[in-house]
Amino acid sequence: MSAVISALPGEIISVDPSTGEELGRVPSYTTDEVEAALARSREAFAGWRATSFAARRALVMAAREVILGELDEIAGLISAETGKPVAEALAMEVAPVLDLMRHFADSAEKMLRPRRIGIGLYSLFGRTSKIIYHPLGPVAIIPAWNFPFSIPLGEATMALMAGNSVLIKPSELTPMVGVKIGEIFQRGGAAAGLVQILTGAGDTGAALVKAGPAKVMFTGSVATGKKILATAAEKMTPVVLELGGKDPMIVFEDADLELAAGGAVWGAFCNSGQACSSVERLYVHESVAGVFTRMVVEKTRRLKQGRGTDDDVSVGAMTSEAQLYKVEEHVADFVRSGAVIETGGRRVEMDGTFFEPTVISGASNEMLGMREETFGPTLPIAKFATEAEAIELANDSKFGLTASVWTRDAAKGRRVAEQIEAGTVCVNEVLYTHGIGQTPWGGVKNSGRGRTHGIDGLMELVEPRHIHLNRIALLPNAWWFPYSRLAKETFKAFATHFASGSMVRFSRMVPLLHRRINEVKRSGSEGKNAD
Ligand code: NAD
């Protein structure tokens, strides 16, 4: 079974991966249609950029109300298109994005208020500097399929609050959720062209990047991220990349093992392991490895797997057949390499793309499933002996999205967290901070560039511009023409006295500065006399 089959050219069929049933059809936008949409977006931007924060807030809050009025339908649609349980769609997508919408609706104005900046001794000459934040223009949002509602909707909200227009190219695996986001904004009162949904596959996404939006917010694989960067370079379009992960979890011997085991099982198997911040490598101290692995296995065996519409199902279908094959390949490699499947390990014998939650012991960093992103329900466990070794193993990866450290010793937790190469490191928590819209989200190494969420994420969606003002512009500057022996002497004093930042030292060069300014002034008036 294939989750998406293109029946006719120019058409995408959306399929429920847990049943194989068709959910609907959407058009695939052509290059010409993408360019026309970008032109409409530019027109909408011209009006939207001039709106007040109150007007932007009103739109976002109205869109929020539309979602609140349709919680069940929306969660049901997310579940149907991705395979995840309805409960998980509510917990991990709908609730967090509603929180994010409220937060940025309330706080964007304050975050983007013009900001006065200190300019040290230059202020003695009556100068001031401030930063103002301009919107960018049409922002292209190209998300993956794993959180098809919360990721593009959160980014769209932030872009709109910053005064931008938005074009979303949803994943071809979850186009109906994308269309729903457009409908939500439309019903919330968005002007024509302000939020557009351009359904299609990779070629539509490529056409959108090539068309030259003001910014590209991309979420997806490293391979596609590289292609987008290359295309964006043609027009020097700025890009934020939210890419893959291979996120480590470190469990020390003094951790609350029961809690850590629960965190590991949820962190590895929620969304069938298809979260960029899923626990994909677990390192446990050798002294507790046996007991901890048993706890994890026991909790995993208790998980009910099935259709996301059943209330007591915790693990749903994987979103695509291709993803399932990758999991099979990684599990087979673990077995070949001598690791042990403690539970799971196979595709489930039922309709739909289900893979058993799988716990693997005896894993090591050389194995394929410890190096490449699996993006499926596997939890490989390896052992470590010392704190230094745990850090080294965790950092031995080309990815660096999130990580977690589990210990009852808060000082040790912080110490280890600060040495791990990742965009976010949690201590005694796992995976969920994408749900806290106030905190920055993004990776280091191959996990990405730039940030979404938090004030850092909002700053990606604006252009800071510097306004520098001389309030008492009566005299020429000492560094203007003509240069002379006196000029050289003054500039040396700038280097030794002014640049020291010390008022006392600066005061010693004032007479020199005075003479030099007079020199520049005189030369100006000589020029005038010559005329
Ligand atoms: P993908 O790279 O195949 O596709 C992502 C999006 O890019 C889709 O909408 C796709 O249609 C589009 N696309 C494909 N080719 C394109 C091109 N040449 N130009 C422009 N757009 C193009 O990724 P995927 O399989 O949808 O997503 C899985 C990946 O996403 C995983 O690696 C996962 O870790 C990552 N992810 C990262 C985060 C994060 O926040 N860091 C969040 C979710 C998912």
User: Whose CA is closest to atom 9 on ligand 1?
Assistant: 171
User: Whose CA is closest to atom 6 on ligand 1?
Assistant: 144
Print burial letters for 498-517: b (CB count within 10 Å at least 16), e (below 16): beeeeeeebeebeebbeebb
User: Whose CA is closest to atom 41 on ligand 1?
Assistant: 242
- Chain centroid to CA 183: how far? 24
Residue whose CB lies within 8 A of the most ligand 1 atoms, among 276, 318, 374, 433, for a mutation test: 276
User: Whose CA is closest to atom 14 on ligand 1?
Assistant: 202
Which among 314, 270, 306 has a CA at the least distance from the CA of 146? 270
Say how far apart CA 334 and CA 374 lie, in whole Å.
Answer: 12
| CA 158 to ligand 1 centroid distance, Å | 20
Query: What residue ranges in 258-373 does DSSP mark as E strands?
Result: 279-285, 340-343, 358-361
Say how far apart CA 2 and CA 22 lie, in whole Å.
Answer: 11
Say how far apart CA 133 and CA 60 lie, in whole Å.
Answer: 20
| CA 222 to ligand 1 centroid distance, Å | 8
| CA 144 to ligand 1 centroid distance, Å | 4
Residues 6+ apart with CB under 8 A from 336: none
Query: What residue ranges in 29-183 does DSSP mark as E strands?
Result: 115-117, 127-135, 138-142, 165-168
Q: Determine the pLDDT at residue 8.
A: 64
At 491, phi and psi to the nearest 5? -65, -30
Q: Determine the pLDDT at residue 527.
A: 57
Say how far apart CA 200 and CA 11 lie, in whole Å.
Answer: 8
Q: Class of the 247-432 domain?
A: alpha beta
CATH code for the structural domain at 30-243+455-465: 3.40.605.10
DSSP string, 66-111: HHHTTHHHHHHHHHHHH---HHHHIIIIIHHHHHHHHHHHHHHHHH
Which among 329, 387, 386, 376 has a CA at the least distance from the CA of 353? 376
Q: Determine the pLDDT at residue 331.
A: 98
Q: Determine the pLDDT at residue 350.
A: 84
* Per-residue tokens: 522: 């005189």
184 with 24: CB under 8 angstroms?
A: no
Instruction: Kindly list the protein residues whose Cβ atom lies closer than 6 A to any atom of ligand 1.
Output: 142-147, 169, 171-172, 201-202, 205-206, 209, 219-221, 224, 227-228, 242-245, 276, 373, 375, 401, 443, 448
513 with 492: CB under 8 angstroms?
A: no
Report which residue type is found at 140. Answer: A
Which atom in ligand 1 lies closest to the alpha carbon of residue 401?
A: 41
Residue whose CB lies within 8 A of the most ligand 1 atoms, among 81, 97, 168, 171, for a mutation test: 171
Say how far apart CA 221 and CA 147 lie, in whole Å.
Answer: 14
| CA 450 to ligand 1 centroid distance, Å | 16
C-alpha triplet 80, 86, 92: angle, nearest 5°: 110
Place of tokens 């990405």: 448
Ramachandran bin of 420, using left for φ above 0, alpha for ψ from -120 to 50, beta for the remaining angles: beta
C-alpha triplet 418, 296, 315: angle, nearest 5°: 100
Q: Determine the pLDDT at residue 528.
A: 57
User: Whose CA is closest to atom 30 on ligand 1?
Assistant: 220
H or E segment and range at residue 300: helix 289-301
| CA 304 to ligand 1 centroid distance, Å | 29
User: Whose CA is closest to atom 12 on ligand 1?
Assistant: 202
| CA 221 to ligand 1 centroid distance, Å | 5
Residue whose CB lies within 8 A of the most ligand 1 atoms, among 4, 145, 146, 215, for a mutation test: 146
Q: Determine the pLDDT at residue 2.
A: 40
Residues 6+ apart with CB under 8 A from 41: 137, 138, 165, 166, 167, 193, 194, 196, 213
Which atom in ligand 1 lies closest to the alpha carbon of residue 320?
A: 25
41 with 196: CB under 8 angstroms?
A: yes
Parts of the chain belonging to CATH 3.40.605.10: 30-243+455-465
User: Whose CA is closest to atom 22 on ligand 1?
Assistant: 202
Tell whether the torsion through CA atoms of 75, 81, 87 and 90 is positive or negative: negative
State the pTM of this model.
0.96
| CA 265 to ligand 1 centroid distance, Å | 25
H or E segment and range at residue 227: helix 222-234
Report which residue type is found at 316. Answer: G
C-alpha triplet 210, 212, 216: angle, nearest 5°: 90
Say how far apart CA 463 and CA 133 lie, in whole Å.
Answer: 6
List residues with catalytic annotation.
Answer: 242, 276
At 417, phi and psi to the nearest 5? -55, -40
Parts of the chain belonging to CATH 3.40.309.10: 247-432
Beta pairing, strands 358-361 & 378-384: parallel
CA neighbours within 13 Å on the CB side: how many for 254? 9
Q: Please report, for residues 98, 162, 313, 501, the alpha-carbon distance to residue 95 in angstroms, rounded to integers and kept in the order given.
A: 5, 22, 19, 50
pLDDT, mean of each 10-residue run, the chain (531 residues)? 52 95 96 98 98 98 98 98 98 98 98 97 96 98 98 98 98 98 98 98 98 98 98 98 98 98 98 98 98 98 96 96 96 98 95 96 98 98 98 98 98 98 98 97 98 98 98 95 98 98 97 97 73 42
Which atom in ligand 1 lies closest to the alpha carbon of residue 206?
A: 19
What are the contacts of 486-492 at 24+ separation with CB within 8 A?
Answer: 486/512, 486/515, 486/516, 486/519, 487/516, 487/519, 489/516, 490/515, 490/516
User: Whose CA is closest to atom 8 on ligand 1?
Assistant: 171
